[in-house]
C-alpha cells in the first residue's frame, strides 16, 4: 500500500467523501420524508390512491437501484428531466429508499395496538390529536431500528453513484487508481474504509435504538 499516493490525492479523496456524505444524507432525508408521506397517505384508505402507492412501492423495491439510476440519468432527458449526475444520484437514492421507508413506517403504524387508538377516541380526542399524541409517538419508535438498518444499506448504495459519474469517494478513488496504476491498493483502501464506516454507524445506531426503546424495557419489567 503506497501511502504517499493516498496523501497526494488526499484533497480529492476528501472532497469525494464529502460528496458521499452529502448524497447519503440528502438522499436519506428525501427518502424518509417521502416514505413518511406515502405511509400517511396509505392510511387514508382510499382504494385508488392505495393502489397507486402500492405500484410505486413495488416498482422501486422490485427493480435494481442501478437500473433506476440509469433510467433517471440517461432516460430522464427524453421526458424533459435534465439532471446533473449528482442531482440524479440524490433523487435516485431518495426515490429508491422512500419505497423501503414507506413500508417501515407502515409497519410502525401497524404495530400500534388498536386498543390504544380506540381508547383515545373514546375519551374524546380529535382524529389529529389521536395521530399526533397516540399513534405517531409509538409508531415512530417502533420504526427506529429498521430505519437505522435502511440508512446503513443506503450508505453502501452511494457507491453505485460512481457508475453515473457522481464525484463521490468511489469515483475519486477510481480516478486515483487509473492515474497512478494502484487499482488494488485503492480498492483495498475502499473496502477497509467502508467496513469501518458501516461498523461505526451500526454501533451508533445500536446506541440510539437502546436509548429510544429504553422505556419499553422499563415497562416490560415486572413491578
Partner 1 sequence: MHPQVILHSFGYLTQAAGTTLAISLAGIALGFVIGAAVCIARLSREAWLARLGGVYVSVFRGVPLLVLLLFIYYFLAKFGVDVPALAAAIGGLALSSGAYQAEILRGALAATPPGQAEAAVALGFSGVEVWRRILLPQALRISIPPLINEFILLLKASSLVSVVGIAELTRVSMNIASLTYRPLEAYVGGALFYLAINLCLAALGALTERRLAGERG
- Which parts of this chain interact with partner 1 (CB under 8 A)? 58-59, 61-68, 70-71, 74-75, 78-79, 156-157, 159-160, 162-163, 170, 183-184, 187-188, 190-191, 194-199
Quick one: 121 or 194, whose CB is closer to partner 1? Answer: 194
Quick one: 74 or 111, whose CB is closer to partner 1? Answer: 74
Nearest distance from residue 66's CB to partner 1, in Å? Answer: 5
- CA nearest to 146, candidates 112, 111, 100, 110: 100
* C-alpha cell, 112: 400500534
Residue 137 near residue 113, CB atoms below 8 Å: no
Nearest distance from residue 42's CB to partner 1, in Å? Answer: 18
Residue 149 near residue 206, CB atoms below 8 Å: no
Angle between helices 47-62 and 10-42 (to 10 degrees): 150
Quick one: 37 or 198, whose CB is closer to partner 1? Answer: 198
Q: How far apart are CA 112 and CA 134, in angstroms?
A: 9
Quick one: 153 or 214, whose CB is closer to partner 1? Answer: 153
Nearest distance from residue 126's CB to partner 1, in Å? Answer: 37
Burial label for 12, CB within 10 Å (0-12, 13-18, 19+), is middle
Nearest distance from residue 112's CB to partner 1, in Å? Answer: 22
* C-alpha cell, 197: 464506516
Amino acid at each position: 500500500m503506497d501511502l504517499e499516493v493516498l496523501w497526494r490525492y488526499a484533497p480529492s479523496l476528501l472532497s469525494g467523501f464529502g460528496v458521499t456524505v452529502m448524497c447519503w444524507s440528502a438522499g436519506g432525508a428525501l427518502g424518509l420524508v417521502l416514505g413518511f408521506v406515502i405511509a400517511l397517505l396509505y392510511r387514508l384508505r382510499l382504494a385508488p390512491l392505495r393502489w397507486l402507492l402500492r405500484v410505486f412501492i413495488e416498482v422501486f423495491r422490485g427493480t435494481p437501484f442501478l437500473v433506476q439510476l440509469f433510467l433517471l440519468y440517461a432516460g430522464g432527458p427524453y421526458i424533459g428531466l435534465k439532471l446533473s449526475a449528482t442531482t440524479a444520484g440524490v433523487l435516485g437514492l431518495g426515490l429508491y429508499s422512500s419505497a423501503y421507508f414507506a413500508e417501515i413506517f407502515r409497519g410502525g403504524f401497524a404495530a400500534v395496538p388498536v386498543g390504544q387508538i380506540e381508547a383515545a377516541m373514546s375519551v374524546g380526542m380529535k382524529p389529529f390529536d389521536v395521530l399526533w399524541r397516540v399513534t405517531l409517538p409509538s409508531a415512530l419508535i417502533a420504526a427506529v431500528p429498521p430505519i437505522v438498518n435502511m440508512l446503513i444499506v443506503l450508505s453502501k448504495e452511494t457507491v453505485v453513484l460512481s457508475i453515473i459519474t457522481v464525484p463521490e469517494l468511489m469515483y475519486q478513488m477510481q480516478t486515483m487508481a487509473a492515474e497512478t496504476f494502484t487499482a488494488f491498493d485503492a480498492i483495498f483502501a475502499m473496502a477497509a474504509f467502508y467496513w469501518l464506516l458501516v461498523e461505526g454507524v451500526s454501533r451508533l445506531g445500536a446506541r440510539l435504538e437502546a436509548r429510544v426503546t429504553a422505556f419499553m424495557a422499563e415497562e416490560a419489567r415486572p413491578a
